[in-house]
């Protein structure tokens, strides 16, 4: 298992977005994480298809798009056309999770499911074969810079066990409070993909910080 680092551009300097993405590439980032917020599912507003399209023009890295929105299916076509490689939707946001995951796959994207801290893992236990990525939120979504919720670690371990028992090759991604102090324990718990916003873009040298985060997982940069 190798560690993937997915810097979240929510924490980037948008006046210098192209340069920020270049620095992530130079540091060996694996994916670019794009948070989409609608002001309903979470309090804040963020990016839409235009930003995805702009980022797509600046990098060949996979674009990992996290939809923190109600009625996520309304956005699928536009986001895929804009250049998304993966779409992750919240289990809490749709009563028709199976249908929507299949729609994402039909559009040629990786299909992911995110779970908020209070959402039980059982919410996805029946559809593991349809999932390409599980995103465990280790903070409540909607704001950057929050502290990692400690009891999330057990949920990460149980998710890894569930995926392994099902023979699933889905990525196990963690988002929230990932930094030098937390990433190794999360890696040991079974995660393989790490969303880092403030830890990367708040560092003096984002490129170097990505390499440091990867090294904490015992993986050579």
Residues annotated as catalytic are: 35, 175
Buried b / exposed e across 74-106, counting CB within 10 Å, b at 16+? ebbeebbebbbbbbbbbbbbbeebeebbebbee
Residue 82 structure tokens: 């804009």
CB count within 10 Å of CB 69 equals 21
DSSP 100-112: HHHHHHHTTSEEE
């Amino acid at each position: 298992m190798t560690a993937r680092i997915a810097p979240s551009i929510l924490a980037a300097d948008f006046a210098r977005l192209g340069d920020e993405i270049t620095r992530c590439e130079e540091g060996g980032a694996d994916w670019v994480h794009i948070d989409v917020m609608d002001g309903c599912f979470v309090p804040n507003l963020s990016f839409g298809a235009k930003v995805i399209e702009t980022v797509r023009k600046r990098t060949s890295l996979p674009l990992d798009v996290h939809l923190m929105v109600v009625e996520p299916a309304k956005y699928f076509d536009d986001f895929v056309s804009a250049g998304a490689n993966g779409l992750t939707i919240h289990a809490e946001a749709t009563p028709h999770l199976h249908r929507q995951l299949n729609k994402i796959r039909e559009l040629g994207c990786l299909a992911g499911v995110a779970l908020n801290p209070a959402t039980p893992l059982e919410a996805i236990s029946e559809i593991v074969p349809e999932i390409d990525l599980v995103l465990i939120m280790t903070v409540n979504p909607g704001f950057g810079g929050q502290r990692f919720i400690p009891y999330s670690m057990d949920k990460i371990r149980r998710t890894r066990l569930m995926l392994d028992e099902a023979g699933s090759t889905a990525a196990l991604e963690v988002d929230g409070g990932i930094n030098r102090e937390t990433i190794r324990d999360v890696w040991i718990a079974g995660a393989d993909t790490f969303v880092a916003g403030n830890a990367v873009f708040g560092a003096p040298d984002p490129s170097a910080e990505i390499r440091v985060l990867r090294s904490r997982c015992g993986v050579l940069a």
